[in-house]
Structure 1
């Protein structure tokens, strides 16, 4: 209420200054016709002076006297009929001044209603920082966040061969609960099927099994799963996983992205903007986090009071993995040369798919290349993961099946 009173007073004061100028007008001691009479009298005297000097003739002097006298009579008539002073009409001036006061005041208040934030409390910097600290201290636990913001899981129905492999994988992990490789595969594939809770459990067991050898990517993936399970909310446990990931690798991109989400949720848009701006500059084109980052960074900058325009979006990096021609050409090399060439391409492609994902063609190349290397178990695991990733896309699944057959997997799924 105090804001509206102050705003109304300021608007009235501003319009009052304009009204005062209108009411005052060009007020003077005498009307304009009186000044005209003085000028014409001076002109009559000048005619007599010019005649005495011989500058003009008597006829010209008489004609000038007649013209000036006519003007004097007209000015005198105007003086008798006009007001006593030179001000503007009082009634019209008062009406216009009152109308301007109303329009300026109402326009200012209406403009604020449309463009401002009526009812918004004052937000001094110290109070905002204190509120942010309180929001950090009061973060919900994972269970509380899932209860409040989580959505029911909606697992996808995988193809029959993929479902069979998942059953085998789950059974194998139960028999060997400390098998890091099995837990990693289980967590990724459960996540791809939409079984977020099972994926969280598997990833937590993986990190526990690895102990000090757990990587930044392991902790970042756990944070990703926790945040997904909580409907996008960064819980205390998710924040802890992000902090651990960044302590191991300050450049870990997924952790950096979600840290920006955390800052945004605790009302620190300035920190979120700084985190996202650096990540955007460091990220390769087409990275998985680029699209959600670009969708949020402008709003964060605006709330932080920073003028920011998104840079043009670069084209995705399309650096290919081993193509069919590459694999065929490798058949003419010696075993050592072939393995060296394919392993280099496989490592690069596998790293890119792990970090950024990719189209089914890239997954198919990876499966086929692993088959050439004789690593059918890895090819089968990658094939299973790809089937979960592209579940419900018949064309992609057919492409993956063809690649699995080329890799020597029985029925597109299991090693011969």
Structure 2
């Protein structure tokens, strides 16, 4: 906890143990003034009920035109990548979300199941004779990348580049800010080219469906197509990879739950939900801006201020979850908030669940003697304010 009246620094100390930082903040209330790594002030909401209510509050807008000041707090994407549904509100947001929901409907998700299983098996096959592996580099990341790139029709030859750009943006080097700008420019050029290629030669993929909707119904603009491709690739890749590796880590550090999962006594959906509560891949929601004075847990936030909702903090609120620091897939109680709430509930939630269920089942089936190859005390988490993802997960078979 910072001294009374002092902003909480979301700095390297916080990144080393964000759950401890959030716990200290919650003990002093549900809303706090904080300072982002770039020095910008933000209002950080940590209580479950407050986060849940704020996530569906129309007075907290996603469109950054409501911001009192330009840029700051990691909010500034170039205009060419800014026009996706997580930067829109009201009817504009509903229009974009409806298009993605149609293209990513239950039929397409169901059809992906066999492809995900084949990809998981293809990635695991060469590991069997090695005696060990890194389940981040050898499974979680390539599986998530393959699934989202197949879904959008990204050529296989360009996927390594996209993964490198995404990692740079999620975990920027403070000493080399130019790298993030270079990654953003490269990503935009690549996606703009991909949209043009799909326009000339459409395929059986989600991006081609969105382009068709654009042409047939004028349902979205050309720049919106590029921004939507950016959002789907960026969020679909890293959050899914983080969920897969996070689930495997949770099981490997909890032998009773691992045994229950192997025997079929642990429901896969309950397992996924508890991982999302206990260690969500997305620690923070997308920033919001107050459109007028907004009262949050007794704190009045002026117009144009940035508000960050912490899914990770809310999901461990001891006023809502009994012994929230414990990993317990059999717990009862309210649902986690890791996929958001209200009109901005994650449109890719069903796909993330499917990937996780298939990947974890494949690993447990193939490797009955699976165990951690390194002590569990200090797992290597990505240095990122927003993402809770392992950088590696060494195991033995």
TM-score interval (norm. to shorter): under 0.3
Write 1 or 2 for the structure with the bigger share of helix: 1
TM-score (normalizing by structure 1): 0.21
TM-score (normalizing by structure 2): 0.21
Larger Rg: 1
> Which of 1 and 2 has higher RCO (CA within 8 Å, sep 6+)?
2
